């Protein structure tokens, strides 16, 4: 498949270490994928689903102890501890290699070593980057061929270059006490052992496209972000692109595939999906910020996905999809999850593969159950999806799950103030990572688990990008779809109705609408959020647009604490921003 010496040498080393029975290159051909699916059905890793209802779709169950990312066991192994920074777990690289090689040694015995050459980004795009993942898991192979562009072509473009990311994955024994997800940013290397769950083992995704790539972006002057990318087409056919960073399971896939309310559809508004999880962004020849989605598929949260909440995501799962940890419907050899519809299957297995009684009150699907679907399945996939240059970004949005405080939407005063807003994002934890759910924590730019270097340097990099972009910089906003009322119900309807907020954001970018200046930024006048055909009162809207100085003073104190972590690495601009906020609030 290749004569690249750096590749062949590494593979030899890995072969000696892992001791596989045989080696198989993934060439990306349909025939090979079909053959590997059949093999995975024989080993029991996949269940072939009803091919009439769900052609080329399969079900997989992970080990019960292995259903989410493990942030506590995710390490950044930079040479100096300071370069991993205060928000990452760190281990000295030599020690980490030894520990990981000791764990992985001989672990492919009796197994096949699959070699997956893949590209993050359209093959041949100047913004794309190649990697090679070796794995002993067919599930990983079959997910990687959906989530990335994988196969021979990647090696052809790589040629003799040494500029590729090494990825070693071994299931070992799925021993959670020996589970580690390690990134070596200075070596372009990832090692993941003892897991079989998506975010831990599909090494092109969080490990490469965020942890390694964020480091590369810092060194090379571009950005790798935990952001969806969408295009909004107005009735004149003009398309504006928005990138949005929300923490895991906080609504990126949903927003990326939003269906506008009926009255806006009738006017001719459309939404196009470029990406739902990751954006790589570079300053283009015109001085604007251009973004690609490095992925080729969606690894989406299943629960809550239905024809009403996210029609396009559901449609994306109808073919060539791998479902992980959902309910198995024995009667029609199909799948189900909470929130799909009101008819849970009567004769079913839960995500663990046990008989499941839908009336027991126990959940059938794991809260972090997922679907892996090809992006091209999505009815609203953007025509620019494969564009090698990407799309120009007009606005960047930050957001999180906050039951209180953060208003529905506000605009930062300028780029530096927007970086401040991003650096202070807080959100309730979700099932996407193991550990407690619903605990509010700071998750700067939704990158807390994904930044591959010192987050203080990362903030500075954002500020530096702003200086380079100057007046061509995207405008920065913050949204919160998750405000709760006293009964614990979401106040804002969310989902498709978020389009009403996006339209305000676009209008702000085009200088077409005024806003109210507050201590935290520009907040909409309630009349400017269009509530046409929505059963939502202007009073309720005003309520979720309020900026309460007393609560924000408390928030400013918490930000002060949050910032202490970064010590000398905290950029002066951000200290100034915090002081400004405090001053504004006491006016
Ligand atoms: P990752 O793939 O983990 O990065 O998640 P994500 O950010 O793509 O989140 P996703 O869109 O899958 O949404 C996660 C959960 O949030 C689902 O249960 C959704 O139903 C819910 N959700 C998404 N958008 C909204 C919204 O506007 N309002 C409310 N109330 N819930 C939402
Ligand atoms: C996330 O947790 O942000 C995800 C899912 O997108 S995973 O790929 O598991 O990280
Ligand atoms: Mn994500």
Looking at residue 352, what is its pLDDT? 98
Contact 169, 201 (CB under 8 A): yes
Residues 6+ apart with CB under 8 A from 486: none
Does any ligand 1 atom lie closer than 6 A to the CB of residue 250? yes
Question: How distant is the alpha carbon of residue 221 from its chain centre?
Answer: 21
Does any ligand 1 atom lie closer than 6 A to the CB of residue 301? yes
Phi-psi region of 371 (alpha: psi -120 to 50; beta: other; left: phi over 0): beta
Ligand 1 atom at minimal distance to the Cα of residue 494:
27
Active site residues: 250
Q: Which of 248, 254, 308, 408 to mutate to test the pocket of ligand 1 (most atoms within 8 A of CB)?
A: 254
Cα(433) to ligand 2 centroid in Å equals: 8
**If you take atom 1 of ligand 2, which residue's CA is the nearest one?**
248
**If you take atom 3 of ligand 2, which residue's CA is the nearest one?**
248
Looking at residue 587, what is its pLDDT? 87
- Binned average pLDDT, 10 residues per bin, the chain of 587 residues: 97 98 97 98 98 98 98 98 98 98 98 98 96 98 98 97 98 98 98 98 98 98 98 98 97 98 98 98 98 98 96 98 98 98 97 97 97 98 98 98 95 98 96 93 98 98 98 98 96 97 98 98 98 97 96 97 98 98 96
**If you take atom 28 of ligand 1, which residue's CA is the nearest one?**
494
Ligand 1 atom at minimal distance to the Cα of residue 497:
27
Other Cβ atoms closer than 10 A to 277: 25
**If you take atom 24 of ligand 1, which residue's CA is the nearest one?**
251
Q: Which residues of 194-212 are buried (b: 16+ CB within 10 A; e: fewer)?
A: bbbbbbbbbbbbbbbbbbb
Ligand 2 atom at minimal distance to the Cα of residue 68:
9
Does any ligand 1 atom lie closer than 6 A to the CB of residue 254? yes
Ligand 2 atom at minimal distance to the Cα of residue 202:
8
Q: Which of 251, 406, 437 to mutate to test the pocket of ligand 1 (most atoms within 8 A of CB)?
A: 251
Looking at residue 196, what is its pLDDT? 98
Tokens of 273: 């999906």
- Distance, CA of 132 to CA of 11 (rounded, Å): 10
Residues 6+ apart with CB under 8 A from 9: none
Residues 6+ apart with CB under 8 A from 494: 251, 481, 482
Looking at residue 87, what is its pLDDT? 98
Does any ligand 2 atom lie closer than 6 A to the CB of residue 316? no
- Please state the pTM of the whole predicted model: 0.98
3-state secondary structure 452-497: CCCHHHHHHHHHHHHHHHHHHCCEEEEECCCCECCCCCECCCCHHH
Positive or negative, the CA dihedral 346, 312, 445, 479 is negative
Cα(309) to ligand 1 centroid in Å equals: 9
What backbone torsions phi and psi does residue 203 show, to the nearest 5 degrees? -70, -15
Tokens of 391: 């799309």
- Distance, CA of 446 to CA of 450 (rounded, Å): 8
CA nearest neighbour of 303 among 277, 337, 279, 354: 337
Residues 6+ apart with CB under 8 A from 490: 481, 482, 483, 484
* Terminal Cα-to-Cα distance of the chain (whole angstroms): 67
Looking at residue 32, what is its pLDDT? 98
- Distance, CA of 143 to CA of 199 (rounded, Å): 11
Contact 337, 327 (CB under 8 A): yes
The DSSP output letter for 446 is G
């Amino acid at each position: 498949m290749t004569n690249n010496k750096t590749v062949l040498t590494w593979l030899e080393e890995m072969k000696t270490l892992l001791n596989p029975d045989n080696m198989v290159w993934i060439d990306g051909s349909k025939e090979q994928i079909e053959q590997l699916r059949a093999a995975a059905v024989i080993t029991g890793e996949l269940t072939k689903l009803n091919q009439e209802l769900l052609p080329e779709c399969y079900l997989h169950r992970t080990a019960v102890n292995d259903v989410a990312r493990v942030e506590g066991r995710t390490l950044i192994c930079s040479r100096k501890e300071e370069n991993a920074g205060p928000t990452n777990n760190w281990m000295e690289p030599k020690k980490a290699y030894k520990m990981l090689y000791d764990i992985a040694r001989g672990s492919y015995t009796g197994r096949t070593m699959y070699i997956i050459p893949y590209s993050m980004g359209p093959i041949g795009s100047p913004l794309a980057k190649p990697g090679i993942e070796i794995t002993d898991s067919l599930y990983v192979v079959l997910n990687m061929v959906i989530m990335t562009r994988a196969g021979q072509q990647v090696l052809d473009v790589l040629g003799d270059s040494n500029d590729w990311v090494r990825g070693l994955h071994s299931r070992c024994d799925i021993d959670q006490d020996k589970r580690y997800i390690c990134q070596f940013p200075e070596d372009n290397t990832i090692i993941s052992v003892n897991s079989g769950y998506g975010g831990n083992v599909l090494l092109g995704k969080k490990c490469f496209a965020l942890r390694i790539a964020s480091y590369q972006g810092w060194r090379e002057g571009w950005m790798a972000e935990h952001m969806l990318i969408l295009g909004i087409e107005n009735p004149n056919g003009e398309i504006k692109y928005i990138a949005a960073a929300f923490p895991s399971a906080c609504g990126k896939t949903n927003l990326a595939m939003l269906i506008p309310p009926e009255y806006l559809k009738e006017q001719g508004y459309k939404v196009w999906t470029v990406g739902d999880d990751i954006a790589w962004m570079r300053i283009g020849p015109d001085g604007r910020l251009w973004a690609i989605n490095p992925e080729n598929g969606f690894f989406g949260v299943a629960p809550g996905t239905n024809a009403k909440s996210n029609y396009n995501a559901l449609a994306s799962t109808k073919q060539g999809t791998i479902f992980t940890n959902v309910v198995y419907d024995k009667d029609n050899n199909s799948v189900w999850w909470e929130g799909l519809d009101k008819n849970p299957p009567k004769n079913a297995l839960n995500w663990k593969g046990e008989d499941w009684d839908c009336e027991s009150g126990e959940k059938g699907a794991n809260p972090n159950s997922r679907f892996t679907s090809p992006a091209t399945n999505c009815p609203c996939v953007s025509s620019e999806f494969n564009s090698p240059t990407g799309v120009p970004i007009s606005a960047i949005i930050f957001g999180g799950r906050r039951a209180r405080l953060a208003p529905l939407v506000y605009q930062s005063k300028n780029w530096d103030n927007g970086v401040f807003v991003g650096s202070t994002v807080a959100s309730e934890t979700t099932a996407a990572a193991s550990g407690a759910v619903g605990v509010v924590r700071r998750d700067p730019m939704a990158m807390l688990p994904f930044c591959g270097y010192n987050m203080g340097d990362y903030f500075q990099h954002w500020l530096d990008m702003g200086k380079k972009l100057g007046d061509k910089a995207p405008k920065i906003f913050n949204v919160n779809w998750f405000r709760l009322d006293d009964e614990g119900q979401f106040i804002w309807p969310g989902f498709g109705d978020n389009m009403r907020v996006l339209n305000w954001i676009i209008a702000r970018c085009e200088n077409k609408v005024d806003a109210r200046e507050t201590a935290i930024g520009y907040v909409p006048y309630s009349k400017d959020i269009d509530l046409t055909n929505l059963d939502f009162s202007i009073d309720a809207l005003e309520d979720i647009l309020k900026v309460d100085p007393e609560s924000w003073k408390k928030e400013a104190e918490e930000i002060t604490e949050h910032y202490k972590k970064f010590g000398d690495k905290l950029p002066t601009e951000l200290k100034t921003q915090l002081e400004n906020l405090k001053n504004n609030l006491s006016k």
